Amino acid sequence: MPRSYTRRSKKTGLAPGSAVHVGAKRSELVRISVIQYTEDTFVEKTVASAVDCHALETASAMTWIDVNGIHDVDLIEKMGNLYQLHPLTTEDIVNTEQRPKMEDYGDYLYIVLKTLGHVKGAGNLDSAQVSLILKRDLVISFQEAESDVFDSLRERLRKGKGRVRKMGSDYLAYGLMDCVVDRYFTVAEALSDRIEEVQEELVRQPSRGTLQDIYRIRHELVLLRKFVWPLRDFLSGMWRGETRLIEEQTRIYLRDVYDHAVQIIETTETLRETLSGMIDIYLSSVSNRMNEIMKVLTIIATIFIPLTFITGFYGMNFDKLPGKDSLEGFFATVVVMLSVAIGMLCFFRSKKWF
C-alpha cells in the first residue's frame, strides 16, 4: 500500500525557513529520550516536552537527545528555538526529502542521513531520514519514527564499553553515523543474497516474475547508491578538517566511516553490473526459448506440407483416380504419407535441426 505524503507544493509561496512537514503522515506521539553521561556516570530518561528536555541539559555531562518523530512541527520549532537552530535547519529537519548532506553553521553542524532497511514480511526496502545536530557537549538526533538503528550504540553507552563514554560529542556523532553506515552493509548483503537466488532461478527456468525481481532489486540498488554517494562526499570533508567542531582524535574514525562508504559504493556498482548481465541473460534465454518453440512449429508445419498435398490431391472431385475406390488404395496412401513424414524427420535429425 503506497505511503501517504504531504506534498511539497504546500510550501509554495512561504518564506524561507517556514517549517512544513513533508513526508509520511503519522499520528503517534513524538517520543523524546535523553541520555547524559560522563566516563563514570550514565543517566537515561524519557521527557514529555522540549522544555523538559532543555531543562535537563548540564555542562558537566555529555548529552544526547533522541527525538523519534518529526511530524509534530510545533515541537520541532520549539526545539529549534531552545537550542538556537537556524530557521533553515528547522525547515530541513521536518522535510524528509532532503539528500544526505552536512552544513556548518559555525556553532553547530547539521547532518542529514538516510537509513535503509527491509520491511519485515514484505521484503521491500524502506528508507527514513535522520537529522543530527552536533554542538559542544550536545548531540540531537531527529528520526522520522522510532527505530532500532541506534540500539547498539545505546547499549555501549549503558555498559560503558568502548571509547564513547570517554570522548566528546563529535565521537558520539561519529557513532551515530557509523550505525547508519553499518545498516547499509546489512542491506547490501541482503541484496547480494537475493541476486544469487534470482541467478539460480534464471538458470533453471526464468519467468516474468524473474524479470520483475531483477528490476525490483535494481531499483533498491539505485536507492542505496543515491544515499551513499553524497554521504561519502561530506564524510571526506569532515575527516579532512573542514570544521572546527571535529577534534583531531575523532578524524581517524570518520576516515574509517568514509572507507566503509567507499566499500558500499564499490559493492553497489558490482551488484548493478551483475544485474545488467542478468537482464541480458534473461533476454537471451527468452529469445532462445522462443527460437526453440518456433523451430518445433516450423518442423511440424514442414512435415504437414506434403501430407496436405497428398490428401488434397486425392480429395479432388474426379471420378477416376488410381486406388480411389479400393481399400488397398487407402492403405497405400497412408503408407506413403507415413513414409514421407518419417523420411523428413530422419532428414531433419541428420541435419541436427532438433
Report whether 146 contacts 69 (CB < 8 A). yes
Where are the CATH 1.20.58 domain residues in the chain? 293-350
Band (293; pLDDT cuts 50, 70, 90):
confident
* Ranges in the chain annotated CATH 3.30.460.20: 8-284
Helices (H) and strands (E) counted in the chain, each on its own, are 8, 7
Query: Quick one: average pLDDT of 51-80?
Result: 88
Write down the mean pLDDT value for the chain: 85
Architecture of domain 8-284: 2-Layer Sandwich (3.30)
Say what the pLDDT of residue 5 is.
Answer: 46
pTM confidence score: 0.79
* pLDDT number for residue 113: 94
* Long-range own/partner contacts, residues 158-164 (CB < 8 A, 24 or more apart): 158/42, 158/44, 160/39, 160/42
- Third-level CATH fold of 293-350: Methane Monooxygenase Hydroxylase; Chain G, domain 1 (1.20.58)
Give the CA radius of gyration of the chain. 34
Closest CA to 132 of 113, 153, 154: 113
- Asked whether the predicted pLDDT for residue 91 surpasses 90, the reply is yes
Identify which of 122, 124, 184, 121 has the alpha carbon closest to the alpha carbon of residue 149: 184
Q: Which of 176, 275, 177 is nearest to 228 (CA)?
A: 177
**What pLDDT does residue 308 have?**
83
pLDDT digits (tens, 9 = 90+) for 7-43: 555 666 677 778 888 888 887 888 999 999 998 899 9
Q: pLDDT tens digits for 216-267?
A: 898 899 989 999 999 998 888 888 877 788 988 999 999 999 999 999 999 9
For residue 3, pLDDT over 60 is answered with no
